[in-house]
Structure formats: structure tokens, C-alpha cells
Chain A
Amino acid sequence: MLQVDKIPSYQPVLTQNPYQPHMARIVRIYKMVEDNYLFTLRFLDDRLAAGFRHQPGQFLMLSVPGAGEAPISISSSPSRPGVLELCVRRMGRVTNALYRMQTNDVVGIRGPYGNGFPIQDIIGHDLLFVAGGLGMAPLRSLVWYALDNRDKFNRVTLMFGSKSPADMLFREELVSLVDRTDMTCLLTVDRDPTGSWKNHVGLLPKLFDSAQIDPARTYAAVCGPPVVYRFVLQRLLDLGFPKDRILMSLERRMKCGVGKCGHCNVGYKYTCINGPIFTYWDAINLPEMI
């Protein structure tokens, strides 16, 4: 008979904790537009800073000490590692606390999470980006990924709409893309109080009149407020885009980022692990998505 004191001990080993935030320093706060700043972060740990890899379209969970955690899409391209750029709109508790921080303050990061854009599928195709307002934040990682790997894609077209020139996120870098000959960058504003805006004035869908798009060999990446989806999706369908080649990035309430907390449920999928990039076909089949 086995003695009780010889019973093997069942001591579980703590597995790697996906909830562990890693500390990162705010290296730059760029005030692009009021309440829409671009925060540049670098992990305190050099190996993490150099080793962190993400896919365009993925997001991370940002911790602001004392305030909590929020999902933020990564606006920088993995083709430019070392730092992470987050375009953050001042909105809730966590982002308000972030806006009270200064350069060199420390925040927590874990991730990257989510599926990201299906790079393997879209390589070799034309790319069409359509964004409105803050919708540029998740698309920008793929824009720069495509431009940094220009030989891997065919035609690249970017359409971006803002309320006014002063409201345009990433305005300087996007205006500088207008002159590039290896892509078409179409920028529009709803109105131009300055009178000095040299690009388009009018609503976002009007930019389709200025672009040459071949739906048979193009992937479209769309992101923006609901009004963008309402008009742009129909336009893409009218052009003949297959529904599974229209890619969209979604936002939802999230507490974990790893498919456990239940908050980002859409229909029966989780935005955090099944998304945040969904196709329009997914959207039709998952109620409440858009």
C-alpha cells in the first residue's frame, strides 16, 4: 500500500501568462489633431523592443497604470520594427488617462492580438484602401507595409476622407504620398474652410470617380464610421467586388483580447481572436457586425 506521505505532489507550473503587460516608454507624443494624438512607444526591454512582431491590422492591449486596459490598433507597419505607433482618440477612461501622460512616462503593452490582414492572400493583388476619419488608424499599418514591400503588390490606391484639412489624421505623410508615382493617393475633405486645400473636396465615395479599379484583382480594405460602410460597401458591390475580398476592421469592447472575457462577441465570433479583420461576407453572416 502506498503511504499517504509518498503521494506525488501535483504542483502545476505557471504557464506563460498572456495577461502580463510589458512596460513600454512613451518616446513621442505627436499632436496630429486635437484629441487624436499619435503615441510612439518602445518596450523598456531591448529584446522585446527588437523582437516584437505583428501583422498589419492587429491590435494590442494598452495598460495605463491606475486607469485600466483598452484595445488599440497598431498603426505602425511591422516593416519598421523597434517602436510601436498608436493613433489614439481621447474617448474613455484609459485614453483620457493616457492623454494626461507625458513623454518618458511608462505604460503597459501586451499582444499583438487578432488575425490581422490576410497578408498571404492579398500579396500579388491590387490593393484599395478606403478610410474615413479614425478608420485610417488600423489601415495605416497595411498601407506602409505595402509601400515598404512595394514589389509584392500590384496597383495600390488609397482613398481617405476627413471633415476638414485640420481634422485629417496623418495629414503630412498622406499629402506626401499624393506625389508618389507608384501609387494613387486620393484625399478628400467634406469642406475646406482654409481655402488652401489642394486635394479633393467632397464626400468620400466621390473619390471612386477619380480612381481606376479592377475588382477582379483587387482586395479592398475599408474602415471608418458607420456612414463609410453604408456608402462605400454598396459602391464596392456595384463595382463587382466579391464579398470575401472586402476586408473591414472592427472595434468592440474588450477586456482580455484573447477570447475569454466575452465582451467582443459578434453573433457567435469574437472580434479579438476571429477578427478584428472580417470580410464583408462574414459581416453578412454575423448579425450586429456593422
Chain B
Amino acid sequence: MKTTILTGLALALGATAGHAQTIPAEVTEPVTITFYNYNLSSAGNGAEATKKMIAEFEASHPNIKVEGIPVSPQNFVTRVQADIVAGQPVDLTQMGFNALDFASKNLGAVALEDIIPQAEIDAHLEGMVPNGLELGRLDGKTYGLAYTFSTPILFYNADIFREAGLDPDAPPQTWEEVKAAGLNVKEATDALPLATGIYGPSAMDWLMQGVVRSNGGAVINEDRTQMTFAEPESVEAVEMLRELAKLGITKNLDITSQMEGMAAGNTAMYLQTSAIQGFLVDGAEGNFDLRATTMPRFGDKPVRPNNSGSALVIHASEPLKQRAAWELMKYLTSKRGYTIITSEIGYLPLRPEIVEDPEYLGEWVKDHPLLQPNLDQLSVLEPWVPMPGPNYLQIATSMMDAMEQATFGDNDDVKGILEAAQTQAQNLLP
């Protein structure tokens, strides 16, 4: 068994070990590449749009055949890992941002700079939001291009706002205002004032990173060697959330209850990724007035939303397949690609110019005002920092367990809880 794994892997990863190979300038012979994609694993718009994009790409690149492999997001990395070990070809993947570091170190993810002439990379990246590009960069190299990604949005139910005597046209912009609005809602209605997607295993740490960052802190230092989530800025952010919980403005709900509460019209405000917008819109249609605004900030400090979602990552090791995968990657992140991704799946375009352009999203955006806060946040977007090393998931889980405890638990010593957890998480860093 072991020898098979070894040979399989040697074959699969052989080329990445030897450095910068030159890839052919174009694909002149037939080649098939695999595209591991999680939108394909569910029924609906995501799968339809992905199939459409693959078909369009194949039509314009007759030599390249794309085999879309549907993999559910919950075991995406496991499956990629298993297939690499099994010697199955893995050429292009739709990798979650939090697994990017793991993919670069363990799953043979290839940095674009290592295989593609710099001039060609620069030409393609032209016109993309600079800090959007940062999302896929690790240690100075580009491992992924943001593909389906979104930002945290404060959804709100305008009907409940009116019922509570609030102005639905002036939604809260700071956490102070969220608190004030929440108290009003609590007083005047039966609705839950605020739900957040900050906590819960499926959230991991993506939204919390943004909250802490918005208060000027960070959960991990810049070179990712030191956990910093027990520093004062972070403690203060958690204390603010604890106050909201104590006042009964927010509750500790699992993600499905949050989403369903909002979709059923029983929640006033909901801070969550814009990716769930379609679900909320379906529930709201004919029932209530759903609106959205940007993520709340802390006082005068600038808001620092970060992204959730996935990047496109090349794993192929043969030059020809690398070229083919890069061509597909270019197409998917082109103006046309982002137009389909935004209008048909509901994610963000990383090329802002297409938003105004009537040839692309111009008309569509007018009919979809909920996208606006998302677009506003693009310019201040920060990356979702992946935790380093093989224990990356455990680090994030330990941290989030402590933060949940500090927010909703009986113990008022937020600082003490976070410090203890920070020491523990620090031990898991490589």
C-alpha cells in the first residue's frame, strides 16, 4: 500500500518539486483537465452557472476538455487530499480560503509566479481590485485567484424596523447604533433583534477575524507566528458582543436557525456572508421588506470586512495541463466569468469596472440593490487569514470555542478566557 502511495504521489507531485518549469504558450494538442468544484455538488443556480461557464470555455478552447468533479464543500479538502494520494489527476480546485495555506504546503498548490511568465500574469490581473488579489496571496506569492467570494453584510427586515419606530432608510452603521436599534426592537416587537454568523463550527473564524480587525486588532500577527486574540482590541470586541448578548439583543444560535429565523421574518438584523442572500430573498419574497447595509464599525474606526468563499488554485504538475488550467482560470476570472458568477450565483465581481458596464453587469445591478453594500466593501476588503500548519483547523476551532464561551458563558472574565485559550492555541502553531 505504502509503495503505491509513494509512486502515485511521486508522479503527481514530481514536477512541483523541481522548480519553475516553462509552460507552453498555448494548448496545441487535446488535453483533459479536472476541475474540483463545490458549486457543482448542489442543485440549483451554482451548478447551472458553473456548467454554463465550463461549456462556454470548452467552446472557445476546442483542445481543452474540462471534467467537472462535484465535491461537497464539507469534505472538499479531504477529497482533494485523498485523490492526490490515490494518484487521481487534480488540476484545478475551488479551494476555501482557510485551506489555502494547507493546500500550498500539502496539496501541491502551484504559485502562479512559479509557472507563468510575469508579463502574462500582470496582463490578466489588470483591472482587478488590488486588495482582492491579496486574498489569494501567501508569503508574497499568488496561490489562488478569488473566485466565488463574498463579504459580511448586515441584512435587516425593514418591516420590523418600522414596527419598532426605526427608520429603515437609516440602518445602523456602528455597533453602538446596532445596540440602540436592538433595544428598540426588543422593546417594541417579538422579533429577535440581532443574529450573527460569527459563531458556530461552520462559520470557523472568518467573520470574527473581520470584527476584531474592525476594532484595530488581529487574531494572529502578520507573519503568522503568534496568536494575538487575547490582545486588548480583541478583548474589547468580544466584550462588546458579550454586552449585546447580556442585553438579550443577540442569541447564541446555530447557523441554520439564524438563517431560517431571518428568512421567516422573525429576526430584525442579521450579520452574515452575502452568499446567503438568495436564500433570504426567497423567504422574504411576498412576506417582508429585506434590505442590507455594510458591516457595522466600531465608533470612528474604519470597518475592515474580510472575505469568505473560495479561490481557484492550480494543482496540475504537467506543463500542458498547467497551461490548460491557467486558461480556464483566466476565463473564470474574466469580465465574462465574473458577470456570470455575480448575476447567476450571487458572489462578488473582482473586476469593479464591469459593474457599470452595460455589456456586463450594468443593467443587472440596477435591479439588485442588495449587492450595493457588498460592492462598497470591496475597496476595504481584507483577506481571511488562514491559520498556519497542519493544525490549522484545530487552532481556529479552539479560538472560536473560547470566544463563544467569553461571549455567551457565565464567566465575565473575557480577558482571562481568551488568554488561556491563546496559550493553548499557540502550542498548536507549527
A binds B: no
